[in-house]
Structures are given as structure tokens and as C-alpha cells.
């Protein structure tokens, strides 16, 4: 691949597609000053809210006339038509997550002031490019703006003095290292190593600290006051996949790195997360490990605290609103209710052997059961519950993306649970027990309408 940076200011760019993927590409194009036109028969509200021209219709080859750049964010059969039309017009196409129909591939991009770093995997592994981008973002020094000013001034001086190109790099290293002489450095390792320069050794950093912080079920409004204060003062944030990234970026100026785990997807190994926390703390950084729900409810928080303790790193734990309770509550389902359920059992539904062991220890239909990380195994879990003596008519619910705009709830019976069809890609919980019957009454006094599926029918209920 030939790497290049494009000046799209005031140039026509066509985005084919009006879904969430297309919406995710608009901000970068608008930041570059492009004149963006979106073409799609159906367009999501977040596209309509952007300052772009929207034409709601099916794609035609002539839509690319006059375009400098094309983003194909439609189904593969439409992307194929876009590619053919673009090839006729000699226009490069970026087909999102569809390399077979692309002639240009976007990389993971780090922007810091006027420094831009892009990483490409030739379209083979965009997730890897994203991980590398966040790793570079965490590595780059916070003083890049000062570096740019110093380099710009040095360049003007070199041109006036006729300094040859081969002599400029060592002089620039000396210039940048002088920025740190006589002052405390927030990141001592940001001094640029140069074996040819005689410079004092960087100071030994004081020990940092780590906070394991619960982020709740998804809505940043449910973050605790302590969580917000720690984020505001953090140097490094390692956050889970379900954390609201936009809210995180608004709250902190720290370097942020996603280390979240998602079902059936490649993720950062737990050992790597532990090493990242330990290394950053030893560099004197204030680290926040921001975790969905509560750190100690199937969040592997205990493992992380133990690894920090073994490394001699101070750690604070900030509880969060656990999804096991918050998701049912936001869907109008209390996990306990006098006369119906005096207790509830929380299980990790993806480990079926442990589910069997837990069900052996409780009387069928005697309490509420909440299962996290269980959506993909819902049919198997329903069969196991019935095999352990639970009635096939026991009420059941699926609650996805609780507290977010994508919130979705299904209710039915245990026998119907396997046939439920939650939206693809949304995390959620299963709730089983008589408490689910209370939902219809409770939701009458809850104020936000969200889609609810009951059995095979889709209706709308009131959700908090």
C-alpha cells in the first residue's frame, strides 16, 4: 500500500450508506473540512444531525460524479456497485470492513495537535490497527505541541543558516531535550534517548497509584462522584468495551486505552492488562482501570487487585452500579419482591458447568436468577433450568444495553427464551423468575419508551 495523507478541504466526498457505520465516518471527514454528501434510502438520526447533505434514495453510478473520495458503508452488494462506478471515474473507495470492494484502506489514526500517526494492516485486521493506535496514543508524550513549536523555530533557523538535512536531526534532539532541563517532567521517559548526547539521567519516578472504578451499566450519568474525580485527575485510563467513550473523553485528558473483552472477539489478555497497570504505576502515573458494572461482580477485579498487591502497587476500589441489579431495574423488573422472591442468584451464564453446580444448590422457582454474559447461551441455559426442575412457564426476560439509547427488552417464558432474537452485538442479561411478571405494572409509572418484545410480538413498553 502507498501511504498518503489527503487534503479534502472543500472537496466533494460521497458516503454511501446511512446506518451507524456511515455515521461513525462523518466526524473525521467533517474535521478535514470535506463537503460531504450522504446517499442512502434510510438514514439514521445521528446522520441527519450532522452538517452534511443527505439524499435519501438508492445509489446510482452518477452519484459519484465530481467526487474526490468515496466511503462505501452499505451492504456488500451495494459496495460492489459503488466500486464499479468509482473505478470508471478513477476515484478511490474506502469500503468499511469490506476490503474486497475497496481501493483505499483507512488506518488507526492518532492525532495530537498537528502530529498525525496512521497505522495500516492493508485492510486485513482493522481491529489490530485500532489496538496499535491506542497503544501509540498511550506512548506519545503530552508535550508534543511544545515539540512542534521548537521544531518549527529550529527549521526556520536551519534554513536561514543553510544547515544541511543530515545535520538537522541530531540538532533537533538536542533542542527537544533542552525543553526538559531544570523542570519536573510529568513523564520522565518522554526525554528522547540519544546515546550521542550527554544529558543528565531522568529522575526516578515516585510510585503511582491505581484505582479500579466501576462505570455502571452504560449511562455515564450513573458514574459515581468519586469515579468522575479520579478520571479528571488520571494520567492513564484502561477502559472496558462497554464504557461510553465519548463521555470518557469529555471527562478526562488522560491517555485512554481500550482493553475490554467482548464475546467471540479478540481481546487484550488479562495478563497484559495487569502488566500495563503495574508498569504505568511504577512510572509514577495515576491509573484508572474503568470497568463496566462493578469491579468485583464478574469483572475480574479481584484478580487485578491481587496482581497489583503482589507488585507492591497501591490500589483503590470504587464500587459501581452492578449490571446484575441495574439492568433489570431499568427494565422495570425488581430482582426481589416481598411475597414473590426474597433473594436472587447472580451467575455467569457463559460457564455452563458452574451454572449446573449453582442450580443443584437451590430449589426450583424459589428465587430470581440473573445471568450475565449469557445472551449467546440463552437456549442452552433455558434447557438446563428446565432440566433442573424449573417450570417451562417460568417468566423470563432479556435486557440489552440497559441505560443506553439502544436499550431493548424481551419478556416471555423460559420455554420461549431460546427463540428470542435480541439485536446483534448488544450485551445484556437474562432474568428468570416470577418477578418478571411485575414488569407490566411497574412500567406504567416509568417514563421512557423503549422497544420491548414479548414472545413473538414486538410492542412498546415504558422503560426507565
pLDDT, tens digit, 9 for 90 and up, residues 8-58: 999 999 999 999 889 888 988 998 899 999 999 999 888 998 899 999 999
CA distance readout (Å), 30 to 47, 151, 216: 12, 28, 32
448-454 and 457-463 strand pairing: antiparallel
- Percentage of the chain modeled with pLDDT above 90: 48
Q: Could you give the CA distance from residue 289 to residue 277 in angstroms, rounded to a whole number? A: 8
Residues 6+ apart with CB under 8 A from 33: 8, 9, 10
Q: Which of 329, 327, 361, 330 minimizes the C-alpha distance to 345? A: 361
Q: How confident is the model at residue 456 (pLDDT cuts 50, 70, 90)?
A: very low
Of the listed ranges 15-19, 109-113, 116-120, 336-340, the least confidently predicted one is 109-113
- 65 pLDDT above the threshold of 90: yes
Q: Which of 332, 346, 360 minimizes the C-alpha distance to 445? A: 332
Greatest CA separation for the chain: 88
- How do residues 229-242 score in pLDDT, each as one tens digit? 999 999 999 999 88
Contact by Cβ (8 Å): 292, 323: yes
- 459 pLDDT above the threshold of 80: no
Residues 6+ apart with CB under 8 A from 324: 293, 297, 335, 346, 370, 372, 429
- 300 pLDDT above the threshold of 50: yes
- Residue-averaged pLDDT of the chain: 84
List the CATH code of the domain at 209-321. Answer: 3.40.1010.10
- Answer yes or no: 25 catalytic: no
- Answer yes or no: 261 catalytic: yes
Q: Which of 342, 344, 352, 304 minimizes the C-alpha distance to 324? A: 344
- pLDDT at residue number 140: 74
- pLDDT at residue number 451: 45
Mapping DSSP to helix (H, G, I), strand (E, B) and coil, where does residue 440 land?
helix
Which entry of 114, 137, 219, 261 is annotated as an active-site residue? 261
Averaged pLDDT for residues 253-268? 73
Which entry of 137, 240, 406, 440 is annotated as an active-site residue? 240
Averaged pLDDT for residues 414-436? 91
Contact by Cβ (8 Å): 447, 405: no
List the CATH code of the domain at 12-106. Answer: 3.40.50.720
Domain segments of the chain as ranges: 12-106, 144-181, 209-321, 324-463
Burial (CB < 10 A; 0-12, 13-18, 19+), residue 153, is exposed
Q: Could you give the CA distance from residue 86 to residue 67 in angstroms, rounded to a whole number? A: 9
Q: How confident is the model at residue 427 (pLDDT cuts 50, 70, 90)?
A: confident
Fold of 324-463: 3.30.950
- How do residues 319-374 score in pLDDT, each as one tens digit? 999 999 999 999 999 999 999 999 999 998 776 667 888 888 899 989 999 999 88
Which of 194-203, 246-255, 351-360 is most confident? 246-255
- 454 pLDDT above the threshold of 80: no
- pLDDT at residue number 452: 47
Of the listed ranges 40-54, 64-78, 183-197, 333-347, the least confidently predicted one is 183-197
Amino acid at each position: 500500500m502507498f501511504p498518503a495523507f489527503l487534503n479534502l478541504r472543500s472537496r466533494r466526498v460521497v458516503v454511501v450508506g446511512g446506518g451507524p457505520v456511515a455515521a461513525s465516518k462523518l466526524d473525521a471527514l467533517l474535521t478535514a473540512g470535506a463537503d460531504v454528501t450522504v446517499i442512502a434510502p434510510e438514514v439514521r438520526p445521528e446522520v441527519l444531525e450532522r452538517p452534511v447533505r443527505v439524499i435519501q434514495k438508492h445509489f446510482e453510478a452518477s452519484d459519484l460524479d465530481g467526487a474526490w473520495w468515496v466511503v462505501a458503508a452499505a451492504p456488500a452488494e451495494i459496495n460492489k456497485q459503488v466500486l464499479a462506478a468509482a473505478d470508471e471515474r478513477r476515484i478511490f473507495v474506502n469500503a468499511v470492513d469490506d476490503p474486497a470492494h475497496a481501493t483505499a484502506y483507512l488506518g488507526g489514526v492518532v492525532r495530537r495537535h498537528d502530529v498525525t500517526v496512521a497505522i495500516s494492516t492493508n485492510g486485513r485486521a482493522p481491529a489490530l490497527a485500532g489496538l496499535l493506535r491506542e497503544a501509540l496514543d498511550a506512548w506519545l508524550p503530552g508535550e508534543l505541541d511544545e515539540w512542534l513549536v521548537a521544531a518549527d523555530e529550529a527549521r526556520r533557523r536551519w534554513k536561514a543558516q543553510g544547515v544541511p538535512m543530515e545535520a538537522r536531526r541530531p540538532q533537533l534532539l538536542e533542542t527537544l531535550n533542552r525543553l526538559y532541563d531544570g523542570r519536573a517532567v510529568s513523564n520522565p521517559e518522554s526525554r528522547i534517548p540519544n546515546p550521542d548526547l550527554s544529558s543528565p539521567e531522568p529522575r526516578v519516578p515516585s510510585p503511582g497509584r491505581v484505582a479500579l472504578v466501576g462505570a455502571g451499566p452504560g449511562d455515564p450519568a450513573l458514574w459515581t462522584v468519586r469515579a468522575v474525580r479520579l478520571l479528571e485527575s488520571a494520567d492513564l485510563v484502561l477502559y472496558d468495551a462497554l464504557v461510553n467513550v465519548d463521555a470518557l473523553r469529555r471527562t478526562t485528558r488522560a491517555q485512554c486505552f481500550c482493553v475490554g473483552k467482548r464475546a467471540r472477539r479478540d481481546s487484550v489478555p488479562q495478563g497484559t492488562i495487569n502488566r500495563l497497570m503495574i508498569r504505568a504505576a511504577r512510572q509514577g502515573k495515576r491509573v484508572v482501570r474503568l470497568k463496566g458494572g462493578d469491579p468485583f461482580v464478574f469483572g475480574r477485579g479481584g484478580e487485578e487487585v491481587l496482581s497489583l498487591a503482589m507488585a507492591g502497587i497501591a490500589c483503590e476500589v470504587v464500587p459501581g452500579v452492578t449490571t446484575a441489579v441495574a439492568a433489570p431495574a431499568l427494565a422495570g423488573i425488581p430482582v426481589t419482591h416481598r411475597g414473590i422472591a426474597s433473594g436472587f442468584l447472580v451467575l455467569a451464564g457463559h460457564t455452563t458447568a458452574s451454572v449446573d453446580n449453582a442450580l443443584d444448590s437451590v430449589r426450583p422457582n424459589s428465587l430470581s436468577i440473573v445471568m450475565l454474559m449469557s445472551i449467546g447461551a440463552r437456549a442452552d441455559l433455558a434447557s438446563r433450568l428446565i432440566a433442573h426442575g424449573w417450570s417451562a412457564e417460568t417468566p423470563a426476560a432479556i435486557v440489552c444495553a440497559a441505560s443506553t439509547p439502544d436499550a431493548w427488552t424481551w419478556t416471555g417464558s423460559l420455554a420461549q427464551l431460546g427463540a428470542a432474537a435480541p439485536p446483534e452485538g448488544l450485551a445484556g442479561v437474562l432474568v428468570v423468575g416470577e418477578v418478571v411478571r411485575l414488569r407490566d405494572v411497574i412500567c406504567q409509572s416509568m417514563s421512557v419508551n423503549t422497544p420491548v418484545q414479548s414472545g413473538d410480538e414486538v410492542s412498546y413498553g415504558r422503560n426507565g
